[in-house]
Amino acid sequence: MITLYALAAAFGIGVVWLGTNIKVVKQFERGVVFRFGRVQSGLRGPGLTMLIPIADRLEKVSMQIITMPVPAQDGITRDNVTVRVDAVIYFKVSDPVRAAVDVQDYVSAIGQVAQTSLRSIIGKSNLDDLLSNREHLNQGLELMIDSPALGWGVQIDRVEIKDVVLPDSMKRSIARQAEAERERRARVITAEGELQASEKLAQAAEIMAEHPAALQLRLLETVVEVAAEKNSTLVLPFPVELLRFLERATPQASERRDQAIGTDTGAASNGETLTLEPPRIPDDASGLELHTRPTGPSPLNVQRG
């Protein structure tokens, strides 16, 4: 019976011994073994690993990418603007031995370096760069953090500036600047449109000067456009150029009119009497009574001495 108890006690001690000296390393971890305080060169991979009792101590190091937000930092840019900038950093362990030996807490160390580098990059940059040229700033910030991290066995995978908080006065100034820029662009576009329209109008004027009939066609098109609106009153502009065109188009009528006026003027200059008779009443209206009120002598006699 005593022998049975002894065997059970030995079995229990063996189980406890195995439990304290057998460790499980996960797939995303690597094990660094310290034997009597001295690190061993070989890393323990995923799975079960056996340790020497009392002599060995296992430290697990995660090989996953760690996402760490950088607290917002207040700083003054190179153009003397107070801003508040926060960022996020992605990193992973590339050398587990150096991460476990060379630095006490590599996660805290990376966080402190990221904060100081962020404040430094704010002081070296202008406000416009923080707002519009973040890719270049991210690269510069990554280089500043990666330089000391390589000595700790840590690789910086990516650094991103998340948000830039501006004072309210600066926001209003930027809004006014953007509004002025938009207004400037609108004026430039309007001026360019006027320039193009004036060039086209000048070409149209040259064509109408060569072909006067084009002006009359354009006038008729304008009348059609105005009449389509069904207005009760139609204001029709009558350009002087159209009168000149009509005068050139009917030279014979003008000559006959000029000859008639010249004949009458010649007869009056020779001393003859020019009589303009009033209109006669037709025969079919002889039976009607016509009341007239004379306003002057009916015949108009023009005499020259």
pTM: 0.57
CA 69 – CA 86 distance, rounded (Å): 8
Comparing C-alpha atoms, which of 110, 121, 92, 102 is closest to residue 147? 110
- Which CATH code for domain 66-166? 3.30.479.30
User: Three-state SS for 156?
Assistant: strand
- pLDDT tens digit sequence for 61-117: 999 999 999 999 988 998 888 899 999 999 999 999 999 888 888 999 999 999 999
- pLDDT tens digit sequence for 78-89: 888 889 999 999
- pLDDT tens digit sequence for 174-223: 889 889 999 999 999 999 999 999 999 898 888 888 887 887 788 778 77
CA 15 – CA 37 distance, rounded (Å): 26
Comparing C-alpha atoms, which of 153, 60, 75 is closest to residue 110? 153
